[in-house]
A and B are shown apart, each in its own frame.
Chain A
Amino acid sequence: MMAKAHVTTTINGDPVEFLCDVEQTLLDVLRDELHLTGSKEGCASGDCGACSVVVDGRLVCACLMLGVEAQGHSVETIEGMATGDRLHPLQTKFLEHAALQCGVCTPGFLVAAKSLLDRNPDPTETEVRYWLAGNLCRCTGYDKIVRAVLDAAAEMRGATA
């Protein structure tokens, strides 16, 4: 039995230490070791985006990264998106636009959409659709999601103008 790896990282701004097996992906660690179950496992092969997280400012699939690779890096998950009880504008707009049904893809869409708006506060619809091409939703048909993202972007621009 191999000893577990000891990993020191930052998650949603907080210093975090965990033990994991080398085989465990970052998604396995988030869900099974740290009980941050907002990130979902859809495909476990990088196709669906339900496990989207941001590592050192880059949007990635947590299922395609080993937990041990988080050593010394900064991870942002869906659990860090709201501020206390105050939802992020994207979360509010997803609710307003009914941009979710079963909800499994929603955390990944929110993390991915926030990563887009952090870089580009005024994306076109085409830019939103291409940025989110790696997030699959089998319920909504995407249209409500895209409208929610564009609406959130408009509101956030207004709030900062």
Chain B
Amino acid sequence: MRYEAPESVGEVVSLLAGDGPRGRVLAGGTDLLVQLRAGMIAPDVIIDIKGIGETREIRENGDVLVVGAAVTGAELGEHATARAMWPGVVEALELIGSTQIQGRASLAGNLCNASPAADTVPALIAAAATCTVAGPSGTRNVPVEDVCTGPGQLSLGDGEFVVAFELPKPPPRSADAYLRFIPRTEMDIAVVGAGVSLSLDEDGWCTAARVTLGAVAPTAILVEEAGAALIGTGCGDAAIEATAAAARAACRPIDDKRGTAEYRTKVAGVLAARAARTAVERARNA
């Protein structure tokens, strides 16, 4: 196994593309090193992208906040602008692992590990975030919901990798929230996760809403009916319950040691409702 630490996006693409050695991209390594140690993967070359400036920066660029692929949870959590704009995305990343994990773990790693239970993926989809994906034919912008196609499976093509995320700057009276259920308070994997992002008008009526769920299907899912149940309402109890019902209806979970399908479906409704209430509260104070 070789280790490469290129300083440009083009070099990463060259290393990943074609019939050459099989490469794996390294950002924080909190999943990659565990998989290497367990023999789940055996790449020919490890490509460390942390030496590339674009993967390490958080910056405002016109209508978007750009967050580099390898920005860590600790760094995003300390970024006041990111917290103010997308508190749900930041809280989703901060929920992952311990202080030690936060020192290394990244948004792109969480996305490209492609676990159905990834915490940041529902939050990013609710935020309508896109990824800047670099590849042999240049860069393209991909909605986060189009990246994972199943457990451990990505839609990225040969030679492609995620360089950064773009989070749209939210309009006034907008906010997001992410909640997950685990049977303890720290250091666990989501039984269910729910993200909500919404906007209110000056009179408090909901003008836009995106509701997402994690760990209840092979990938994180955007539940359009659950968002639609909030739009045009004052986000009262009936609308919130309609959102929860739509969330439950969208669940296609499996039974496993973390919870049964029936349990996950029930919890998905509870979390979608609670995340919606938190997002409404934040939007009213935004």
- What is the interface of chain A, defined by CB distance below 8 A to chain B? 2, 5, 22-23, 25, 44-47, 49, 52, 55, 58-61, 63-66, 68-69, 71, 112, 115-116, 130-135
Contacts and interface: CB of A to CB of B under 8 A. Distances in A.
12 contacts: A22-B1, A23-B1, A44-B37, A58-B103, A59-B100, A61-B100, A64-B33, A65-B29, A66-B29, A69-B26, A134-B99, A135-B98
Contact of A5 (B3, B28, B34, B186): B3
Contact of A71 (B1, B5, B100, B101): B5
A59 B46 CA distance: 23
B36 interface: yes
Contacts of A134: 97-101, 187
Contacts of A63: 33
Contact of B104 (A47, A64, A71): A64
A66 B43 CA distance: 14
A64 B98 contact: no
B126 to A, nearest CB: 25
Nearest to A54: B103
Given A2-B2, A46-B34, A59-B99, A65 B186 contact: no
B74 interface: yes
Given A46-B34, A59-B103, A63-B33, A22 B46 contact: yes
A64 B34 contact: yes
Given A23-B36, A61-B104, A134-B187, 12 more contacts: A5-B3, A46-B34, A46-B101, A47-B187, A58-B72, A58-B104, A61-B101, A64-B29, A64-B33, A65-B33, A65-B104, A69-B26
B43 to A, nearest CB: 10
Contacts of A130: 186
A51 to B, nearest CB: 9
Contact of A55 (B1, B103, B187): B103
Interface string B93-107: 000011111011000
A60 B104 CA distance: 7
A43 to B, nearest CB: 10
Contacts of A65: 29, 33, 104
Contacts of B74: 58
Contacts of B72: 58
- Of B1, B3, B37, B99, chain A has the most CB atoms within 10 Å of the CB of B99
Interface string B4-47: 01000000000000000000001011100110110000000010
